[in-house]
Amino acid sequence: MTAIDSYVRELDRRLHGPRRRKADLIVEVRDGLRDAADAVLADSPEVGPAEAERQAVEEFGPVPALAPEFQTELAVAQAWRTAWVFAIALPLVMAVTTLMWRGGGTSIEPGPAYLDVARATDLFLVAASVSFAVALLALRLLARRATSPVALVRAVGGAALVTVLAMMGSGVFLTMGAPGAGTSLWGALVGGLPTLPGYGLLLYLGVRCLRLTRPRRPGAGRPSRRPAPVPSA
């Protein structure tokens, strides 16, 4: 295994995040190292290919020092993806639930508590959707300048978890208290099984943001506190 192959393999082992963005980073590093090695060979013909690669790797910097910078970029990419999905999904959830409510409506008037929870849920979804849209803007405009992009990534992950749990809780309550079609807690949970894959995906995205920014075992690198470039969607 060449010096470049060994370096790239170690970097790949240390990094975690969106698969496509990680693969792009690895390719960029490999190409940069090869270009650097070619430059060494061009400037010093007496140097062999193996030594040129070793020098290129040495000049690039040790993996433990650079991996946190790349890890931060991957974490920001995950936050971008999460905020984008939530900003799109929440309005769709509101539209679908509204159509279901109108299609399955009854002549029975809902109680005050039921109406309060329904309105609060709608307002929460609107506020959450706007917040995730603002997060997208912040990730695009401020991540390069922020003192800690990691804090922004964690905020997106935490907001995602709170949003999903709130949606699940309100959904159970509204199902149990639906006018003329209320059910028990067990019935509401069983009836909500078809929505679990969607909720599971949203929960995964939030957890992923938090996991990519948590400290790792010694030698595995830690997320950088310095600004990192924000990837495209």
Domain identity same for 53 and 79: no
pLDDT at 95 over 60: yes
Structure tokens at 36: 């650097």
Which amino acid, 111?
G
pLDDT tens digit sequence for 212-227: 987 665 444 444 433 3
Structure tokens at 17: 């995040």
DSSP annotation of 148: -
pLDDT at 45 over 60: yes
Domain identity same for 42 and 80: no
Q: Is 110 left (phi over 0), alpha (psi -120 to 50) or beta?
A: beta
* Window from 8-12, 68-72, 106-110, 185-189 with minimum mean pLDDT: 106-110
Q: Is 157 within 8 Å of 209 (Cβ atoms)?
A: yes
The pTM (predicted TM-score) of the whole model is: 0.78
* Window from 43-57, 123-137, 148-162, 209-223 with minimum mean pLDDT: 209-223
Which amino acid, 174?
L
Structure tokens at 78: 């995950």
Domain identity same for 109 and 201: yes
Residue ranges of the alpha helices (H) in the chain? 3-14, 19-43, 49-60, 63-103, 112-141, 149-176, 185-191, 196-211
Q: In this structure, what are the phi and psi dihedrals at residue 9, rounded to the nearest 5 degrees? A: -65, -40
Q: Which residue has the higher pLDDT, 231 or 133?
A: 133
Domain identity same for 88 and 37: no
CA distance 45 to 26: 28
* Window from 81-95, 144-158, 213-227 with minimum mean pLDDT: 213-227
Question: Average pLDDT, stretch 151-161?
Answer: 93
Q: Please report whether residue 203 resides in a domain.
A: yes
The pLDDT of residue 225: 38
Q: Please report whether residue 151 resides in a domain.
A: yes
The pLDDT of residue 44: 87
Domain identity same for 86 and 164: yes
* Window from 43-52, 138-147, 148-157 with minimum mean pLDDT: 138-147
Structure tokens at 63: 């993996």
CB atoms near residue 227 (< 10 Å): 19
pLDDT at 89 over 80: yes
Provide the residue range defining the domain that includes 53: 3-61
